Amino acid sequence: MDARITPGDVGGTVRAPPSKSYTHRAILAAGYSDGAVVRSPLDSADTRATARAVEAFGGTVERDPDADASDRGTENALVVDGFAGDPAVPDDVIDCANSGTTTRLVAGAAGLADGGTVLTGDASLRSRPQGPLLDALEQLGARADSTRGNGQAPLVVFGPITGGEVAIPGDVSSQYITALLLAGGASEEGITIDLTTDLKSAPYVDITLEVLADFGVDAEPIGSEAAAGADGFRVAGGQRYAPADGEYTVPGDFSSISYLAAAGAVAAAPGDAVTIRGAVESAQGDAAIVDVLDRMGADVEWDRGTATIRAGRSDLDGVTVDVGDTPDLLPTIAALGAVADGETRIVNCEHVRYKETDRVSAMAEELSEMGASVAEDQDVLTIRGGKSDLRGATVDGRGDHRLVMALSVAALAADGDTTVRGAEHVDVSFPSFFETLADLGVAVDLE
């Protein structure tokens, strides 16, 4: 499906979709429990993959028919009958589709099962690195293999592990750490993680620690009070996953908020703004988008008391942004940089190449199609907004939800219509994205 976007003024009030990162963790944590209700989960292709995995391990995940599914689905609920920390050996292969988060988090659960679990997914997922996590599971006593011997899915994990100590790099994917922490609380002995490199994307591990705490599981960084700067992590075994009153509520998603706030910053009508509800303060590193917009000179305000963000249009200036801890913001910042005056440098971004696609090269190439002046190095993406004159074009979202949404934001500031190919891939994290843009006044034609 293609999305044809006509530039124009935007404004109005919309609600942020629930957090994909929190939803993944909450569904799996509920799976580790005797049973729990997950309120306001994100219903997307990726999170449905995690729900299927919980069912493959012997749990059930059902939508609460009594929940209010209004307001674009943000008030729905999932009733999870968990496998109580003892995952069964799946009857069939677990298809993780395009969800790398599902693959990694579920691989940890597979390590607890007394037998073999096979994990696979689509072509994009089968190109992403899983080797360090497989090695970690081997250190804990599992047999963990890549069927092609290249550290990529399909994966085969034979358990059970009982826990122990493991050394793993922290600069490839923080999701490896999350997988081990979630599994560790349900293991017999617990797991101690020694980081052999500095941890990147540390806020995502803070999210994991927060969700674990909300489910009554004690886990902690070693050598630091938070994930950033930690030497490792420790989680005791034999713990019971049980949220207060049997329920957990997912906060709004700041990765998705970034596109809406950016839309306001580049295209809000004079005297109007985009107001986003559901911006609940949490451990999400992508809340840094508010600071990035402020540094660029945007008219932006985050009222934490009411959990709302307001973003109006103003002249933007290029800045330097380190995305070591916030890789998912790179596409949004790149789009903003193409609109801003001066030079925007996105640094410490090599790990962003190992997502659904190589987002560094992809954003460089697609923004160039729209007339942006872009320079790409291995660890730096530079957008010369002052030398860019965005024009409508046909660009390819490359099967990556974040590229589709970021390019749609850039389209709002282009001269002429832009067609974004692969628009259907927003279903991964923000299924109602184009409907939400339309609510803000954007002329969107889905073809």
Say if residue 359 carries a ligand binding annotation: yes
Handedness of CA 217, 221, 224, 228 (dihedral sign): negative
List Cα–Cα distances, 312 to 47, 229, 299, in angstroms: 32, 35, 5
Strand intervals (E) in 58-130: 60-63, 77-81, 94-95, 116-120
Contacts of residue 292, Cβ cutoff 8 Å, sequence gap at least 6? 319, 321, 329, 333, 336
Helix (H) or strand (E) holding 155: strand 155-158
Say if residue 21 carries a ligand binding annotation: yes
Handedness of CA 40, 41, 42, 43 (dihedral sign): negative
Contacts of residue 130, Cβ cutoff 8 Å, sequence gap at least 6? 103, 104, 107, 146, 151, 152, 153, 155
Say if residue 44 carries a ligand binding annotation: no
Q: Bridge partners of 445?
A: 4
Say if residue 124 carries a ligand binding annotation: no
Say if residue 175 carries a ligand binding annotation: yes
Q: At what angle do helices 330-339 and 288-295 cross, to 10 degrees?
A: 20
* Residue tagged active-site, from 81, 206, 328, 396: 328
Q: Hey, what are 401's tokens? A: 């939800």
Say if residue 277 carries a ligand binding annotation: no
Say if residue 328 carries a ligand binding annotation: yes
Q: Are 51 and 38 in contact (CB under 8 A)?
A: no
Say if residue 387 carries a ligand binding annotation: no
State CA 308 to chain mean position distance: 20
Say if residue 139 carries a ligand binding annotation: no
Q: Is 328 considered catalytic here?
A: yes
Say if residue 174 carries a ligand binding annotation: yes
Say if residue 100 carries a ligand binding annotation: yes
Q: Which residue numbers belong to the known binding site for phosphoenolpyruvate? A: 20, 100, 128, 175, 359, 402
Catalytic residues: 328
Q: Which residue numbers belong to the known binding site for 3-phosphoshikimate? A: 20-21, 25, 173-175, 201, 328, 355
Q: Which residue numbers belong to the known binding site? A: 20-21, 25, 100, 128, 173-175, 201, 328, 355, 359, 402
